Amino acid sequence: MRIAVLGAGAIGAYAGAALHRGGADVHLIARNENLRAMREHGVRVLSPRGDFTAHPHVTDDPAEIGPVDTVILGLKAQQYAGCGPLLRPLLGPATSVVAAQNGIPWWYFHGVDGPFAGRRIESVDPAGAVSRTIPVERAIGCVVYAATEIAAPGVIRHIEGTRFSIGEPDGSDSERCRALSAAMEAGGLKCPVEQDLREDIWVKLMGNIVFNPLSALTRSTMVQICRHPATREMARTMMNETLQVAAELGVRPAVSVERRLAGAEKAGDHRTSTLHDLERGRPMELDVILSAVVELADLTGVPAPTLRAVDATAGLLNQRVSEPSAPAPSLAARS
């Protein structure tokens, strides 16, 4: 299986290294010091499951690679609309695109019945810009349950979790999902093919919608947010409001708020990727995580006052971070 990882940051490089170890023909697209380090030394993975080094092909020019079977997007979601020049050389007639993103994906209402079938979520897909770059027919959904970080250029620290749940937006059983699942599992990852990935999306989102913006607003780790009584109560309220929105869309995640809070507290002094971005002066990935749910609350008539307040304040903070200089949109990889 021929696979390209566009945006080989912490998650992308980890998945690519595992896939290469499992025998897939992997090509990583990276930049700057990360590119140079991986070219010279390979991708070094430090993991409680055992360290290893993989040596996939690494480049900053997708034209060197050409069409592949699958593209894994390791970019931030706000970079999708602008990634067309990098993505197009990798696309053949049957190439699938796997978005390893947080939050609500641009394909969310694709392949579903009901009053919202085919509806575009503006905060995720403004004016259809993402759908034009990545047609929904190419999309394979992906929810990442692995925690990784870049320890040094070319060095990925795997903290916990190996699960990458995938699925077709329309819930169909496809050969392309089965093939990707087999390749991921050959590399030592868990990759279940879910009939309806939307439940996984909301389970993951219950944590992201709370801890990503609150960590940035308070400059705090997950355990600090959980152990401060007022922010813990705010987190509980935000999760309950999120579940109300999900229920109006027909999704009822089989996980309790208290269990999600306990899991977050157990994570300890984990600094979210959003807090890392803020500290580095980078735009934060909040539209798909928070603003999209507020938009869905408007759509379904859910009040969600706490989500709206946090969205307003985090949105202003994000605007201020974005004003001094524009991000380099080409390869701002997710971590």
- Which residues participate in catalysis according to the annotation? 204
**CA angle 74-240-209, nearest 5°?**
20
- Six-digit token pair at 274? 């959003």
- CA-nearest of 272, 324, 318, 264 to 291 is 318
Q: State how far the Cα of 230 lies from the Cα of 236, in Å rounded to an integer.
A: 10
- Residues 148-160 as b/e (b if ≥16 CB within 10 A, e otherwise) read bbbeeebbbbbbe
The type of residue at 16 is G
- Which tokens sit at 233? 């109560």
Query: CA–CA distance from 285 to each of 170, 305, 331 (Å)?
Result: 26, 21, 14
Closest Cα to residue 75, out of 2, 127, 118, 134? 134
Alpha-carbon gap, residue 96 to 99, rounded angstroms: 10
What does the alpha-carbon distance between residue 270 and residue 266 come to, in Å, rounded to a whole number? 10
Could you give the CA distance from residue 10 to residue 18 in angstroms, rounded to a whole number? 12
